[in-house]
A and B are shown apart, each in its own frame.
Chain A
Amino acid sequence: MELNSLKKRRRFNSAIQVVSSLSALLGLAALLWILLVVLQRGVGALNWDFFTKLPTPPGIIGGGLANAIVGTLLITLLAAIWGTPLGILAGVYLAEYGKGTKIAVIIRSMTNILIGIPSIIVGVFVYALIVLPSKTFSAYAGAASLAIIMLPVVVRTTEDMLSMVPNALREAGLSLGAPNWRVILQIVFRAARGGLLTGILLAVARVSGETAPLLFTALNSTFWMHSLNEPIANLTVTIFNYAMSPYADWKSQAWGASLLIMGAVLILNIAARLAFKERSRAK
């Protein structure tokens, strides 16, 4: 390192400090900008009709997105029902039974790869797997693609949380004569409860804002759904279609839907953080 005069070094140092502080501010500003814009444009669109009425054809003012709200809730719920137990079981295997085995290593790296797969590819995959053979877009297909996206997230957090449970607890249970499965269910799960909840909440938060995999699995619809085996309305695809449309009324509803989705996702995220903090404090 060449030796400059102290003054020069000091000046350079403060320049870097200013630049890095400004960058952090820039990140914060971007967050606030997005939040405020969505809030400001979305609030105007939210009213009673928005939550209770069906969409109207273009040109007719009014109407709401009740079917899409229900659809999104339904698809997310279905995905959580499929993805969560499977993910937790796989996580238990990795952390408890398969520790150190070759299969566990393979499953773990497959999970890592699965996390990195773009969500639109999952959509294409489910399209080829479910939509093509069954010849119809359906809520099932949409939920399946979301479940595939949730799965690796749940597996990873479950494994991490379970491995954080101290071994002494397990040994204490085993020494009382409890079988392995009982120790896992009643001791390890109880100790890791907050962490598991965090993982599930984060996974749900992640998929509830997903659009790409739903585009060609759940499609969209302007009616109430009658069965899970048909195209189903959902908020995110509706946002996409409405935003690209030329109608001001639709655009405003898209902002309203954006606000709803963003609010839900942020609340889930903050709840997940709180659940995790609660757990760390209890320790």
Chain B
Amino acid sequence: MILLLDSRLAVAKFGLGFLVSDAWNPVTGDFGGLSSIFGTAASTLIAMLIATPLGLVIALFLVELAPPKLSAFFGSAIELLAAIPSIIYGMWGLFVFAPFMANHVQPILGKYLGFLPLFQGPPLGIGMLTAGIILALMILPYISSVTRDVFMMVPPVVKEAAYGVGATNWEVTRGVTLRYSLSGIVGAGFLGLGRAVGETMAVTFVIGNNHQISASLFASGNSIASTLANEFTEASDPLYLSSLINLGLVLFIMTLLFQAAAQFWLWHIGKKMT
């Protein structure tokens, strides 16, 4: 691939050390991708931790609880969340949501959970946590709509049988629906993961863009995509540019791996079902 070709300069200079070095200094020409890779992983992890359970219960609401009309309305409203361009999320995140986090959410978290290193530091609003939450919002529609589709594929007979022996709504869900659709939910998770890893604009707006690894979720950081977005047009010398392209290559390989895993998983499920 072309990316490989153009990153050869950085690969030749830093080798595999690129992946584990957290140096990033355009002046001295010392580049390492660790902080960006860490930021991508951390923000994606936060997003998945929030979006997966939330997407699950929303799908549950849509399929099991809501009357059909209400369900259709909520369903398309949540799907519209996926249609909003990421730059709009970025604008909203930077000017509306980040101040909201700084004034209302982060002080409370800091007060009650401040003994954890995760929640220490000044409540700036922008940073890892905010980026993660916005990412969660962005991948939520993917997870909930796929999960809803899987839930609807559960044969009604099985559910009715469970209701017949006196199980409550939740017991049917846990014992029957979830068990049936576990594989589909994993697939939905992979889909959301792929989205979150490569998301650029929204993250660039709110993550703070700082080449530093910090234990606190309040601190600003960066992700591979945000580094690329910010610095690509500024990269003047060939080594700088090549390092950035190398970062892009890392991201590309990451998404490729997730994709392959998801495809393999679906193929595996498909084989098991027939």
Contacts and interface: CB of A to CB of B under 8 A. Distances in A.
Partners in one complex: yes
B27 interface: no
A254 B78 CA distance: 25
Interface residues of B, number: 65
B157 interface: no
A34 interface: yes
Contacts of A16: 57, 60, 169-170, 173
B62 interface: yes
A128 B2 contact: yes
Interface residues of A, number: 61
A229 to B, nearest CB: 18
A13 B166 CA distance: 13
Interface stretch (B28-36, B101-109, B119-127, B192-200): B192-200
Given A17-B65, A118-B197, A124 B228 contact: yes
A128 B245 contact: yes
B84 interface: yes
Interface stretch (B10-18, B89-97, B180-188): B89-97
B171 A9 contact: yes
Given A20-B57, A27-B58, A243-B91, A121 B85 contact: no
A30 interface: yes
Nearest to B262: A116
A255 B90 CA distance: 11
A28 B66 CA distance: 14
Question: Chain B CB within 10 Å — which of A1, A26, A211, A266 has the most?
Answer: A211
A64 B197 CA distance: 35
Contacts of B255: 116-118, 121
Contacts of A107: none
B194 A116 contact: yes
Interface in B53-85: 54, 57-58, 60-62, 65-66, 74, 76-78, 80-81, 83-85
B48 interface: no
B228 A120 contact: yes
Interface stretch (A93-101, A185-193, A257-265): A257-265
A124 B89 CA distance: 22
Contacts of B244: 124
Given A20-B58, A27-B58, A215 B259 contact: no
A39 to B, nearest CB: 11
Contact of A1 (B91, B175, B251): B175
Contacts of A281: none
Interface in A80-127: 109, 112-113, 116-121, 123-125, 127
7 contacts: A1-B171, A23-B61, A26-B54, A27-B140, A33-B96, A34-B88, A127-B232
Interface of A: 1, 9-10, 12-13, 16-17, 19-21, 23-24, 26-28, 30-31, 33-34, 37-38, 41, 109, 112-113, 116-121, 123-125, 127-129, 132, 205, 208-212, 215-216, 219, 236, 239-240, 243, 251, 254-255, 258, 261-262, 265-266, 269, 273
